């Protein structure tokens, strides 16, 4: 079983052993309820680094007051078995008072990119993510950190944070792992009813349609009209946003001919909100 580290000093003592002999520490931050997507990050880290550490921490400051913090799936025993199967060395599993002791008041402001897409309906979410990830980097002293590109906005923002704050960590993005029918793996898929689960396939189908037919489109609005039509054909789907943006920094685009573009979706199925995205050109 991976070694369980519960405090900052235990974790530092553990990773210092690797640092002292110049070994690379690979880190995968998670909120637990691990699935194949999380494990694919660890497998890549295992290949590229000498030490593999995961963290499991359901970070309260990235959830809004009406979000699913209380019902977020938790399964430590199952998670540890999965992490053992891929050769994880240690898991940082702090409780809330270790991460945010009483009086805690330091937060990272990620700027305007945190207020678009998911940030529009989840104010403060990316500040919460950037804050906890920065703390986790400082605690683990990792050299490389692995993030799924399913959370494309998170991945883009964290690259910017690390660059702008001169943090000595390489952010490695890993492609989305999908179920056989194309649904992107997510801990939140477990909330879906049978019918919602079937309906949710429309996300990947829509993204693939745009990618496969990209050369036929002339404008951004033509693409987004088609996307809305395809998703709305699924009765259980309720679109929160569908946006086409510059894949390198998520800035707005005028022409669809010049830049590498990412199509990003957030869609509700009942009470479950799913996100997905694809580079389409």
- Judged by CB under 6 A, does residue 183 bind ligand PAF? no
Report how far residue 223's alpha carbon sits from residue 243's, in angstroms, rounded to the nearest whole number: 9
157 binds ligand PAF (CB under 6 A): no
Spatial contact of 158 and 130, defined as CB atoms under 8 Å apart: yes
Question: Is the CB of 133 or the CB of 230 nearer to ligand PAF?
Answer: 133
Q: Which stretch binds ligand PAF (CB under 6 A): 11-19, 25-33, 244-252, 255-263?
A: 25-33
Which of 11, 32, 38, 169 is catalytic? The answer is: 38
User: How far is Cα 132 from Cα 62, in angstroms, rounded to an integer?
Assistant: 9
Q: Is 35 a catalytic residue?
A: no
Q: Does residue 62 bind ligand PAF (CB under 6 A)?
A: yes
Q: Strand, coil or helix: what is 55?
A: strand
Alpha carbon distance 89, 65 (integer Å): 35
Q: Which span (28-36, 76-84, 174-182, 246-254) binds ligand PAF, by CB under 6 A?
A: 28-36
Q: Are strands 90-92 and 51-56 parallel, antiparallel or unpaired?
A: parallel
Among 129, 116, 154, which Cα is nearest to 240's? 116
* Per-residue tokens: 268: 């509700």
Minimum distance from residue 228 beta carbon to ligand PAF (Å): 27
Per rule CB under 6 A, is residue 276 in the interface with ligand PAF? no
Q: Tell me the C-alpha distance between 223 and 281, whole Å.
A: 12
91 binds ligand PAF (CB under 6 A): no
Please identify which residue in 2, 29, 37, 94 interacts with ligand PAF, judged by CB under 6 A.
29
In the complex, minimum distance from the CB of residue 26 to ligand PAF, in angstroms, rounded to a whole number: 15
Say which residues have a Cβ less than 8 Å from residue 9's Cβ, sequence separation at least 6. Answer: none
SS3 185: coil
Q: How far is the CB of 57 from ligand PAF (least distance, A)?
A: 7
**132 versus 256: smaller Cβ distance to ligand PAF:** 132
Asked if 39 is part of the footprint of ligand PAF (rule: CB under 6 A), the reply reads: no
Q: What is the DSSP string of 156-179?
A: HHHHHHHHHTT-S-EEEEEPPPB-
Is residue 129 close enough to count as binding ligand PAF by CB under 6 A?
A: yes
- Residues annotated as part of the active site: 38
Residues forming the site for ligand PAF (CB under 6 A) = 29-31, 59, 62, 129, 132-133, 151, 154
């Amino acid at each position: 079983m991976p070694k369980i580290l519960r405090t900052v000093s235990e974790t530092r003592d553990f990773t210092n052993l690797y640092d002292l002999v110049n070994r690379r520490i690979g880190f995968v931050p998670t909120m637990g309820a691990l699935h194949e997507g999380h494990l694919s990050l660890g497998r890549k880290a295992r290949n590229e680094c000498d030490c593999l550490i995961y963290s499991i921490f359901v970070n309260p400051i990235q959830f809004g007051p009406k979000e699913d913090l209380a019902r977020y799936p938790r399964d430590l025993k199952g998670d540890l078995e999965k992490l053992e199967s891929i050769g994880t060395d240690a898991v940082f599993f702090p409780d809330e008072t270790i991460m945010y002791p009483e009086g805690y008041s330091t937060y990272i402001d990620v700027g305007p990119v945190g207020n678009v897409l998911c940030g529009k309906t989840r104010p403060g979410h990316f500040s919460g993510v950037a804050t906890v990830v920065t703390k986790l980097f400082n605690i683990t002293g990792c050299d490389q950190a692995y993030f799924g590109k399913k959370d494309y906005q998170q991945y883009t923002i964290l690259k910017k944070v690390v660059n702008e704050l001169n943090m000595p960590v390489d952010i490695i993005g890993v492609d989305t792992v999908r179920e056989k029918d194309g649904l992107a793996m997510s801990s939140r898929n477990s909330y879906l009813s049978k019918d919602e689960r079937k309906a949710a396939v429309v996300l990947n189908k829509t993204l693939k349609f745009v990618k496969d037919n990209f050369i036929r489109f002339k404008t951004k609005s033509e693409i987004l009209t088609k996307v809305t039509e395809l998703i709305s054909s699924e009765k259980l789907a309720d679109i929160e946003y569908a946006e086409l943006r510059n894949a390198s920094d998520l800035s707005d685009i005028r022409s669809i001919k010049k830049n590498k573009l990412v199509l990003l979706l957030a869609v509700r199925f009942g009470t479950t909100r799913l996100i997905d995205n694809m580079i389409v050109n």
